[in-house]
Amino acid sequence: MKRMLVAVLLALIGVGCSTGGGTVGARGSDSKDSVLFEIAADPQLNRYEKNSHALVLCLYQLSDADSFTRLAQGTEGMPKLLECGRFDGTVVHVRQVVVQPGQELKEIAERGNGARYLGIATGYYSTGKKKMTALATIPEDQRESVLRIELGAQEIGQVRVK
């Protein structure tokens, strides 16, 4: 019985390690267009009850920005955006990232086929009129787009494409 359990666990680990981690809907392997996300978090990130906390980010590549904008502005939309899933056909690729207070990190992804916009949704504790989402246009003429995201203590500080 013990050997059977070990064999099953090893098989599961092997399957988990061998599954493709590529971008769904990405351009062919001959194309190397990419998006580099540079993320810088405030040391007081996601402050709640006198403590800083990790923050969940959903990084979307979109073919059209309208659905993302509608969800970001609606009361029911933020929970949907924070699922980090394909809420409709305009989502070319999505990635979830967890950022710690004071952390600086870089995430690179292949630019998805037809991706023209980058959407960011954040899971800050504070809600209301704070800046919880951001949207940027991907330059068409660049092989690598760099999106710099500065996360403040209570909201997105600045987002810019380099």
Can you tell me whether residue 152 is helix, strand or coil?
Answer: coil
Task: Decide which of 107 and 14 is more confident.
Answer: 107
Domains of the chain, start order: 38-161 (2.60.40.4150)
**pTM reported for the whole predicted model:** 0.78
pLDDT at 157: 96
How confident is the model over 70-101, as pLDDT tens digits? 999 988 899 999 999 999 999 999 999 999 99
Q: Which helix (H) or strand (E) holds 107?
A: strand 104-110
- What are the φ/ψ torsions at residue 101 (nearest 5 degrees)? -55, 135
